[in-house]
């Protein structure tokens, strides 16, 4: 999770290797999925999701 106070923006990105100090906050998938930004802020999810199972299509 990375945020920009001046832009009132928070975004989620994929974890690629070790998290560098000052470069954001590492969140597990459960917490990232439940993240809600403060009122008046925008949340952008930039994660690439790889699903183990495709959603079922109902005929």
pTM above 0.85, yes or no: no
Residues 7-58: pLDDT tens digits?
A: 999 999 887 766 667 678 888 888 888 999 999 999 999 988 755 555 566 6
Query: Can you give the pLDDT at residue 26?
Result: 86
Between CA 17 and CA 58 the distance in angstroms is 38
| Domain layout of the chain by residue ranges | 2-45
The 10 Å CB-count burial string (b at 16+, else e) for 17-42 is eeeeeeebeeeeeeebeeeeeeeeee
């Amino acid at each position: 999770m990375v945020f920009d106070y001046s832009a009132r923006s928070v975004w989620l990105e994929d974890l690629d290797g070790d998290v560098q100090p000052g470069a954001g906050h590492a969140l597990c998938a459960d917490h990232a999925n439940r993240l809600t930004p403060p009122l008046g802020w925008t949340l952008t999810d930039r994660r690439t999701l790889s699903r183990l199972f495709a959603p079922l299509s109902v005929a």
